Structure formats: structure tokens, C-alpha cells
């Protein structure tokens, strides 16, 4: 069912390999870092995954005419922030998940204390990597700012807080659901393309186009995630499906059915593609990626 | 027993009031931040405390001829990082503490999930504040880097990991104990004075003096903390004393007795004062502060 263009598919694989290689370099922290701690961070960081956010950083940089090498530090950093959020979200006090991508979660493997600290370490390392490597200083500082704002108490962390509260009190409207997802997953995805644009030295109008693109695919990503939970294949997903319904969690298909949700996702993807159209051929991969989100089966 | 100079005492109080005021501004995050989350962060951030780290940022900036207003964002940021570390360290999976500064710890008051997220939020907000407010960009980026490096997986987080491991396996030498404290508390204290110097635009030789000062008072701070645990007054400390001995935790007095520990602290403070002496009268407060660490009773 995957209709990713063969071109993007190949490029994506090549980017993942470069990202993973560079993340290994960054995670090699020397003797001041306890080996157990490094192992826990590495375990979760290299647990597999699509590397969607770092790939978006690199593709957005390329779409703006930049060199993806320059964006590699920010790409690795955002994947570390994403991984930290998964580790902390999985904790017993939070979503209490034992499995992630088909493997025991960090706290199951290394214990709770080590998992909390692995998350803390990855979040902090993200800012160290950007501040040490993104040039010029203005771009580095802007990336630090956008990453912190997207990941923090009005962004991703706020989304997780709201999500936990909603599990207790319930969500009554689609707008509430959207407000949670926008912060919990949307903001970091948008930040990825923003950082790519910043590092390429893009004009503010172009950055705005990337933000529109990011917001649209971020929301579409969540909708298709919810749809996959209803219709997906457990093996391909690497996690239990229909978990949302079992947990009484409100989802897009739960609110408006699968068909209407799919239609909404399609509209969002078309908005995303339109937003980056003025960038011309350079944005072809970004468009293919948007279509992948719509048509993915995992 | 406090022998802080009356001059520093007054200045310190004035700085605390400015720091607290500014932190309230920064913590006013608007409607995108769930109120429960803001409350949990605020609860721990304003639980009282000496504000040692932010005061050090401001004093170091002043000692280098800078304007302490410029250093205020970095001062607030480092207190947030310190507070995040206390919240996470107190968690049941970590040190499992119910009381902090005489009040219920964050997870006792707000539950574990909210405490984890309050810590995550404060850590992230620290980088947002620095990247949004420290000028010029080069200084902002340097501060982000030093803060991340000091707080992260080769600094404070590494110290906490090593400390937890040592509780299980035991510490056999004073060097091991020192290696833990250096990372767990020393690095952030050193970072405070470094950031003050960076923001004042100090030369690298001066920054090096500040680092020597910070490392010395950081270690002295831990030694006097251990001594206070043996001889301190529970009421003044705001936490249980002799807890270390009860927990079988190895301490400086445990290794070498109170007298020898005190002598070591005295030597470190004298080294610290010597390091900043070339800054002249402007470093008077830094010297007074070093002496406060030696003579504090809480």
C-alpha cells in the first residue's frame, strides 16, 4: 500500500543511514558518561523508527536550497527530543507501556530511574548538539529557541499533560482532541521543517510556508495514526492495535468515522503540498513525504 | 554562625527578589500551558531556597564589569534547571523523598506524572529563555552550550546516575565520591559563574578564573553540606539531618572525619578567593559568597 515515490524511498534510506551514523558519533560521550546511562539512551535511540522528524529537517533544508550536512546536528537533536518524549511517556506513571516498536520499553529494560535519566540526558544533549554545531550563531540560537518552544510547556509537554488529563476527564469535542494533538505531536513536526529552513537561511515567507506544511502533515500524521490503530496490522505497526478503543481513548475515527477522517487527512496533505509548491522541484521530496503519511501502512 | 558580610547579605536579598520577579514573568506561559502544569512548576520553583546558582550568575557578571540585567535570563534559566533536577531526583524511582525544604515534594503534591512533566518543562524552558533573551547571539549560544553540557549526560545527569549506582555497589574511595559530586553539583555551579562571565563579555583568561572559583566552591559546598548533615539543625536545614548516615551513604565526614573535611573546605574556599582576586574590588561579593558557603548553617 506504500506509494512513496521510489526516489524519496531511496533518498530517505540514505538520509536515515547518515542520521544514524551521526547520532552514534554524538552519543559517544566518553568516560564522564556512565556506560549504563549511555546504553539506555542508545537502546531507545536506535530502537528503529522512521526517523520522520530528522528526515523532515534535512528535506526542508534541501527544499530551501541549503546543504543537508549543515542541518544534520539539528536533525539528530530533534530525534533525541522525540526519543526522550517516548521514554518518559512510556513510564508507569504516564502511559505505562511495556512495548515500543516491538521491543521492551526503556524502563522495562533498564529500570525506571535509568529511563527517567536517559530521557533527561537525551533532551539535554539535543541542546548541546545544536549549540555546539549549528552555524552561524544566529541560526543556532533560533533553532534552540524553536526546539525548546515546540518541545516545552506550551508545546509537546503541554500536549502530554493535556492528554493525561483528558484520559481522566474525557474529551467532548473534536476541537479538544485537535488541541492536544497539535501540541503533543504537531509542534515538534513543524519545528523540524522550521529548523531546516532556518539553517538553509530561508526568508521568513518561506519559513511560513514550511510551518503551514508542517502543521498540516503533523495533524494528518495523527489522524492516520488513529486510523491505523483501527484498521492496521499489528506486525507492521510494531505495537498493539485497537489499543485506543480498548483504553476508551478518543480518536479521529472515534469522533467522525474512518471515512471522514481519511478525507480530512487527504485535504490536509493537499494543503501541505500546495504550501511548498512555490519552492518548485526542490520541494518534490517534501511532497512525496506528505503523500507517504497519507498512504503509510505502519 | 552566618558570617556573610552585611553588604553581600543585602545585595543577595535584592538579587533574589529580582530573580523571583523575573522567574514569575517567565513562568506566565499563557493559555497553551495547562494550568495544572504551570502550578506544579511554580510550586517547586518558588519553594524557597538560597538561589545560589542564579545569584552566582549575576555576581560573576558584575565581577567582570557586566550589567546584571543582561545576565538575568541565564540566572533564571539555571535555577529552573536546578529545580528540575530536584524534582526528578526526589521521584520514587530515584531518591524517593517526600519532603524538600520542609514542604511535600512535587510528586507528593501533584502526583508522579505531573512531577516528571514539571521537571521536563522546567528543563526545556531554561533553553527557551536563554535562546530568546541572551544577546548577542554568540553569547546566547555559548550559554546554551555550557548549560546543556553541565546539566547533561557528562555532567549533572551523569552524577545522578553514578550516585544511584554507588548506592547499590558502594563507594570505596574518596576519589569516587568526589567524581560523583563534581558532576552532580559542581558542574552546574561552575556553569553559573561561566555564564555570568560569558554574558559580561569576559576574556577567556577571566572565564578560566571563574571556572577555578566555581569548581572550588562547588566542591566546598558539597563538603559543607555533608558536614551540616552530621552537625546541622533540622529546622534550619528544612530537611531531615543525619539522613546520609541512616541511608549508609558515604560522605566526606564519613571518609575523613568532620575536622579534616572542614579543613579541606577551608582550603577550597581560599583557592576560590585567590582565583578571582585579580578582578579586584568587583569580585568582593564573589569572595564573600565563598566564605558564606564555608560558614553557612543551612
pLDDT in tens, B200-245: 999 999 999 999 999 999 999 999 999 998 886 555 555 555 566 6
How many angstroms away from the CA of A285 is the closest CA of chain B? 31
- B124/A123 Cβ within 8 A: yes
Instruction: Specify the pLDDT at position A181.
Output: 93
B 54-83: CB under 8 A from A = none
- B116/A157 Cβ within 8 A: no
B186 inside 8 A of chain A by CB: no
Please state whether A216 falls in left (phi above 0), alpha (psi between -120 and 50) or beta: alpha
Instruction: Specify the pLDDT at position B249.
Output: 72
Instruction: Report ipTM (2 d.p.).
Output: 0.95
Contact list, B178 vs chain A (CB under 8 Å): none
Q: How many CB atoms lie within 10 A of CB A198?
A: 28
Residue B103: strand, helix, or coil: strand
In a 10 Å sphere around its CB, with 0-12 CB exposed, 13-18 middle and 19+ buried, how is residue B224 labelled?
buried
Domains of chain A by range and CATH? 6-295 (1.10.600.10)
How far is A51 from A198, CA to CA, in rounded Å? 20
Rg (CA), chain B: 18
Instruction: Specify the pLDDT at position A260.
Output: 95
How far is A193 from A214, CA to CA, in rounded Å? 6
Contact list, B137 vs chain A (CB under 8 Å): 136-138, 140-141
How many angstroms away from the CA of A171 is the closest CA of chain B? 15
Q: Which of B130, B152, B160 sits opposite A128 (nearest CB)?
A: B152
Instruction: Specify the pLDDT at position B246.
Output: 60
Residue in chain B lying closest to A132 (CA): B145
Cα B158 to the chain's mean position, in Å? 16
Instruction: Specify the pLDDT at position A67.
Output: 98
Per residue of chain A (298 residues), give pLDDT as tens.
Answer: 344 577 899 999 999 999 999 999 999 999 999 999 999 999 999 998 899 999 999 999 999 999 999 999 999 999 999 999 999 999 999 999 999 989 999 999 999 999 999 999 999 999 999 999 999 999 999 999 999 999 999 999 999 999 999 988 888 789 999 999 999 999 999 999 999 999 999 999 999 999 999 999 999 999 999 999 888 655 555 555 556 666 667 789 988 999 999 999 999 999 999 999 999 999 999 999 999 999 887 6
How far is B195 from B148, CA to CA, in rounded Å? 12
Q: How many CB atoms lie within 10 A of CB A49?
A: 18
Over chain B (298 residues), the average pLDDT of each successive run of 10 is: 69 97 98 97 95 98 98 98 98 95 96 98 98 98 98 98 91 89 96 98 98 97 90 59 64 92 96 98 97 86
Contact list, B127 vs chain A (CB under 8 Å): 127, 144, 147-148
How many angstroms away from the CA of B34 is the closest CA of chain A? 6
Instruction: Specify the pLDDT at position B169.
Output: 87
Q: Which three cell numbers stand for residue A67?
A: 546543504
Residue in chain A lying closest to B27 (CA): A153
Instruction: Specify the pLDDT at position B237.
Output: 54
In a 10 Å sphere around its CB, with 0-12 CB exposed, 13-18 middle and 19+ buried, how is residue B119 labelled?
buried
Amino acid at each position: 500500500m506504500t506509494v512513496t515515490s521510489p526516489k524519496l524511498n531511496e533518498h530517505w534510506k540514505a538520509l536515515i543511514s547518515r542520521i544514524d551514523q551521526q547520532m552514534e558519533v554524538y552519543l559517544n560521550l566518553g568516560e564522564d558518561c556512565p556506560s549504563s546511562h549511555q546504553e539506555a539512551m542508545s537502546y531507545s535511540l536506535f530502537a528503529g523508527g522512521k526517523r520522520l522528524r530528522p528526515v523532515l529537517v534535512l528535506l526542508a533544508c534541501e527544499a530551501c536550497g541549503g546543504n543537508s550536512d549543515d542541518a544534520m546536528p539539528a536533525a539528530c537533536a530533534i530525534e533525541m527530543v522525540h526519543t526522550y518524549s517516548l521514554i518518559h511517556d512510556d513510564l508507569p506513571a504516564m502511559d505505562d507501556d511495556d512495548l515500543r516498536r516491538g521491543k521492551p520499553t526503556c524502563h522495562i529494560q533498564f529500570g525506571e530511574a535509568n529511563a527517567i535519566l536517559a530521557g533527561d540526558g537525551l533532551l539535554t544533549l539535543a541542546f548541546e548538539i545544536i549549540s555546539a554545531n549549528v552555524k552561524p550563531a544566529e541560526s543556532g540560537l533560533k533553532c534552540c529557541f524553536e526546539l525548546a518552544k515546540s518541545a516545552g510547556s506550551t508545546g509537546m509537554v503541554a500536549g502530554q499533560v493535556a492528554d493525561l488529563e483528558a484520559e481522566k476527564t474525557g474529551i467532548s469535542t473534536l476541537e479538544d482532541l485537535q488541541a492536544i494533538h497539535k501540541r503533543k505531536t504537531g509542534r515538534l513536526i513543524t519545528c523540524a521543517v522550521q529548523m531546516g529552513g532556518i539553517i538553509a537561511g530561508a526568508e521568513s515567507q518561506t519559513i511560513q510556508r514550511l510551518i503551514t506544511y508542517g502543521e498540516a502533515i503533523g495533524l494528518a500524521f495523527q489522524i492516520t495514526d488513529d486510523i491505523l490503530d483501527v484498521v492496521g496490522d499489528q506486525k507492521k505497526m510494531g505495537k498493539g492495535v485497537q489499543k485506543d478503543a480498548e483504553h476508551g481513548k478518543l480518536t479521529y475515527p472515534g469522533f467522525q468515522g474512518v471515512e471522514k477522517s481519511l478525507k480530512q487527512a487527504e485535504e490536509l496533505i493537499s494543503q501541505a503540498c500546495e504550501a511548498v509548491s512555490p519552492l518548485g522541484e526542490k520541494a518534490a521530496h517534501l511532497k512525496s513525504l506528505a503523500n507517504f503519511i497519507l498512504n503509510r501502512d505502519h
